[in-house]
């Protein structure tokens, strides 16, 4: 009986150690607190202007919103703003973004428009010209096959570009390795762990154990994130624990059909899409 109790207490202690978020840093949180963030810029369901285009980013900044966006490398390691791993949904091309060089990638039309995928540097310049105080949540895209060296370079390039930006910014990723790299490379920068529900991970083919690890923020041991960015589903015990331990809570992605007033009450920041909330709510 004592052995069983010891094992239970040990497992509980290990889980607590793994899930524990970073130390609360109120000064870093302040520019991001109580704000709505335009997901991939300000765009409509008709993709006019297209998501992740310079006009969408300019519109979000001009209307006073924060912005959430995604960065990744092309095959020649140009840092671009593009959400999907693949080109299929938003362009006429097929295949992975990381397999296409910048010259070909930059010529692709976004959603059949005259807009093209931008460099991260051009996005930053556009937003700074529209509203230099715009807070940015930058997601660093990752895949399981990316090596540690590749991710180190991707994080380093992202941070280097952000040093030219006059406004506040923070970094996030679904990959705990990335959050850990940001912790080492730029401990002074606010960092966040993105997480989806266990059911969602299983639905896209993730095996049971990694789905549990990712959905329950067990990778926090690597990055000790300042905030957790959680999906629309009910929070699991680990996410609730992070909130109880004073992690900042961000919600992704709020849609018109959600109870947006409740989301603003329950979360410190809301990443939204396809509606027009107040830029600040707290």
Give tens-digit pLDDT for 217-272. Answer: 999 999 999 999 999 999 999 999 999 999 999 999 999 999 999 999 999 999 99
Using DSSP's 3-state secondary structure scheme, residue 97 falls into helix
Between CA 263 and CA 52, with CA 57 as vertex, the angle to 5 degrees is: 90
Closest CA relative to residue 91, chosen from 104, 105, 109: 109
DSSP lists the bridge partners of residue 38 as 67, 272
Closest CA relative to residue 51, chosen from 123, 125, 159, 130: 123
Using DSSP's 3-state secondary structure scheme, residue 137 falls into strand
Contact 227, 248 (CB under 8 A): yes
2-85+117-272 has which fold? Answer: TIM Barrel (3.20.20)
According to DSSP, residue 114 is labeled S
Instruction: Please state the φ and ψ torsions of residue 140, each to the nearest 5 degrees.
Output: -90, 115
- What pLDDT, on the 0 to 100 scale, is given for residue 12? 85
Q: Cα torsion at 195, 198, 203, 204 (round to 10°)? A: 40
- What pLDDT, on the 0 to 100 scale, is given for residue 5? 80
Q: How confident is the model at residue 1 (pLDDT cuts 50, 70, 90)?
A: confident
The whole-number average pLDDT for the span 114-138 is 98
DSSP per-residue string spanning 168-189: -EEEEES-HHHHHHHHHH-TTS
Q: Cα torsion at 67, 264, 281, 69 (round to 10°)? A: 0
Contact 41, 57 (CB under 8 A): yes
Instruction: Please state the φ and ψ torsions of residue 11, each to the nearest 5 degrees.
Output: -65, -45
User: What count of residues does the chain have?
Assistant: 282
- Quick check: 191 pLDDT over 80? yes
Q: Give CA–CA dist 275/258, Å, rounded.
A: 11
Q: How confident is the model at residue 120 (pLDDT cuts 50, 70, 90)?
A: very high
């Amino acid at each position: 009986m004592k052995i069983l109790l010891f094992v239970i207490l040990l497992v509980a202690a290990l889980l607590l150690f793994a899930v524990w978020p970073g130390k609360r840093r109120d000064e870093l949180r302040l520019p991001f607190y109580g704000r709505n963030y335009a997901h991939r810029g300000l765009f409509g369901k008709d993709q006019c202007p297209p998501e992740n285009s310079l006009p969408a980013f300019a519109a979000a900044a001009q209307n006073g919103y924060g912005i959430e966006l995604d960065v990744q490398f092309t095959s020649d390691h140009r840092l671009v703003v593009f959400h999907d791993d693949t080109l299929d949904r938003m362009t006429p091309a097929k295949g992975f973004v990381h397999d296409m060089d910048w010259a070909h990638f930059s010529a692709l039309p976004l959603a059949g428009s005259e807009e093209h995928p931008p460099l991260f540097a051009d996005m930053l310049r556009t937003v700074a010209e529209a509203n230099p105080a715009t807070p940015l949540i930058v997601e660093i895209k990752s895949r399981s096959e990316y090596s540690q060296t590749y991710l180190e370079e991707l994080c380093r390039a992202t941070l280097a570009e952000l040093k030219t930006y006059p406004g506040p910014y923070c970094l996030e990723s679904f990959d705990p390795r990335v959050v850990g790299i940001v912790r080492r490379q730029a401990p002074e920068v606010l960092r966040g762990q993105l997480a989806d529900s266990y059911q969602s991970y299983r639905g896209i083919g993730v095996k049971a154990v990694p789905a549990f690890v990712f959905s329950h923020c067990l990778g926090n041991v690597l990055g000790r994130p300042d905030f957790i960015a959680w999906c629309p589903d009910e929070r699991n015990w680990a996410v609730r624990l992070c909130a109880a331990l004073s992690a900042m809570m961000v919600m992704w992605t709020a849609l018109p059909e959600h109870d947006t007033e409740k989301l603003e009450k329950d979360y410190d920041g809301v990443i939204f899409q396809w509606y027009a909330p107040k830029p600040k709510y707290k």
